[in-house]
Structure formats: C-alpha cells, structure tokens
Amino acid sequence: MSEKINRPHVLMMSEITADGKLTLKKGASSKILMKYMAPETEILLHQTRAVYDAIMVGANTIRIDNSYLTVRLIPGKSPLRVIPCSMADIPLDANVLGKDAPTAIAVCENAPPDRVAAIKNRGAHIIVAGKNHVELPLLMKILKEKFNVNKLMIEGGPTLNWHMLHHKLVDEIRLIHLPFIVGGSDTPSLVGGMHINSEDEMIRLNLKKYYMCGSNLVSEFDVLYREG
Ligand SMILES: NC(=O)c1ccc[n+]([C@@H]2O[C@H](COP(=O)([O-])OP(=O)(O)OC[C@H]3O[C@@H](n4cnc5c(N)ncnc54)[C@H](OP(=O)(O)O)[C@@H]3O)[C@@H](O)[C@H]2O)c1
C-alpha cells in the first residue's frame, strides 16, 4: 500500500490487433496501424491523454514512430511527455523534443554528459534515475514527488510495457482492438521481455468494462498483482 503512495496511478493504453500485435512487423511504425483506428477511438485516445498528468513511451518507440504524444484532436492540455532513455541517445530532432508540450527525458548517471547537455538545450527536463540504466520505480517516485504526476499513462512499446508490469507499476490496462491479424513471430506484441516459467507468474487481470467506440472494441482491465 505504501509503495503506491510513492508513485502515480498508471494506465497502460494500446492499440492492438486481434493477434495481440502492436505494429505490422519488427521495426515498423505503429502509425501505419493507427491509421485504421475509428475516428471516435482516436478521440478517446486524445481525451485520455488530456486527463492524465503525464504520458510515457519507451525510447525505441520515439526512434521508430517519432511520436508527438500531444493532445491534438480535442481542446485540452497536453500531458508532460516522459521518455526513459538510459544513455540519452534519442535523436535531437525527435518530435517529442519540440515545443508543443513539456518533456522529461529520464537517463542514468552514466549517460554521456554531452548528450544530456544537448537534450537540455532542446528545452527538455532531465531526470537522473539510476546508475547504469533507468530504474522505473525510482522514476515513478521522482515523477510523483518532483513533477506532481498523480496519473501517468503509458503507450508502449512492448519492452517498456514488460518492465513496468514486471515492477508491478501498472494499475489499469485499456486496449483498443483493431480487427486485423498481422502475424509474425517476432512482431512486437503488447508485452515483450522474458517469458514466464510457471502459471504462478501469470499476471492476472480483472475485465471491468468493454464497449464499442465507433467500430473498435475497447476493453478495460484492472491489474491484479500477487502479494510479495
Ligand atoms: N500499437 C501501439 O499502441 C504501440 C505503442 C507504442 C509502440 N509501438 C511499437 O512498439 C515498437 C517499439 O517497441 P520496443 O519494445 O522496441 O521499444 P520501447 O518499449 O518503445 O522502448 C524500449 C527502450 O526504452 C529504453 N528504456 C530505458 N530505460 C528503460 C527501462 N527501465 N525499461 C524499459 N525500457 C527502458 C530502452 O532503450 P535504451 O537502451 O536506448 O535506453 C529500451 O530499449 C515500435 O514498433 C512501435 O511502433 C506500438
């Protein structure tokens, strides 16, 4: 209980195909799939962003998708954009470093100082959270205590999703189901990382709501972690 007080409430939100994939193939931008979202669902995504204090995606999503992560389709304030990037090596011309919304790049103590300085020069906050890599529980604590982030949404990719779940940092999951199958054994799916070894390690979810948004099914789950 006390752990939760030291971190924001976290929602994982994703567009996902019927076979659980987040994009067409490894290395492909999810913006291609997102073109097939119903207009009503795109609005739902932007409405969700507008009521969250911060939005986080992994550094690889920035490299591949070059996301903006702003609120554009409805009136509303864009959340703080947070990118964990241990060695501060996202491209300096990334859209997320533009002036449309505030951005915080989380790095580790060993990140090269010249890269950190170059990101700072683009106007982003730098959060140092960990020695050799970004430690997500520490990052969550800093976001809550120093940036007043009470509600955080994460929009992938699979590597970040796995690490957040592995550290028991996700409270809710909202999935936008796209009626396609893309296949591919190495195509990124909702959660990457390491496989589990027994059923005891399965992360249990409670389906709390499902509804149509335009032509897309949306499902909402609470994440039920085991104690200990
Ligand atoms: N459909 C959707 O909703 C959706 C949403 C987002 C992304 N995507 C797709 O997902 C794919 C990218 O996913 P991905 O799994 O390759 O990458 P990712 O999850 O976006 O980013 C992972 C990277 O974040 C950095 N990172 C720093 N600290 C971390 C930490 N503590 N835990 C986890 N990551 C940390 C690492 O890069 P460094 O080692 O450089 O720090 C790591 O490799 C793309 O194809 C994109 O299109 C789809």
At 133-186, the pLDDT tens digits run: 999 999 999 999 999 999 999 999 999 999 999 999 999 999 999 999 999 999
201's CB contacts (< 8 A; 6+ apart) are none
Which amino acid type is present at position 145?
A: E
Nearest CA to ligand 1 atom 11: 157
17 Cβ below 6 A of ligand 1? no
Atom number in ligand 1 closest to CA 133: 28
157 Cβ below 6 A of ligand 1? yes
111 Cβ below 6 A of ligand 1? no
Domain boundaries along the sequence of the chain: 2-224
197's CB contacts (< 8 A; 6+ apart) are none
Q: Which residues pair with 15 in a beta bridge?
A: 176
Pocket test for ligand 1, best of 22, 60, 169 (most atoms within 8 A of CB): 60
Q: What distance in angstroms lies between residue 113's CA and the mean position of ligand 1's atoms?
A: 23
What pTM does this model have? 0.96
Q: Which residues pair with 216 in a beta bridge?
A: 213
Checking if the pLDDT of 2 tops 70, the result is: no
136's CB contacts (< 8 A; 6+ apart) are 84, 129, 163, 164, 167, 169
The 10s digit of each residue's pLDDT in 96-146 is 999 999 999 999 999 999 999 999 999 999 999 999 999 999 999 999 999
Residue 207: its H or E element: strand 204-213
Per cent of the chain over pLDDT 90 is 96
172 neighbors 153 (Cβ within 8 angstroms): no
Instruction: Tell me how crowded residue 107 is: count the other CB atoms within 10 A of its CB.
Output: 25
CATH number of the domain located at residue range(s) 2-224 in this protein = 3.40.430.10
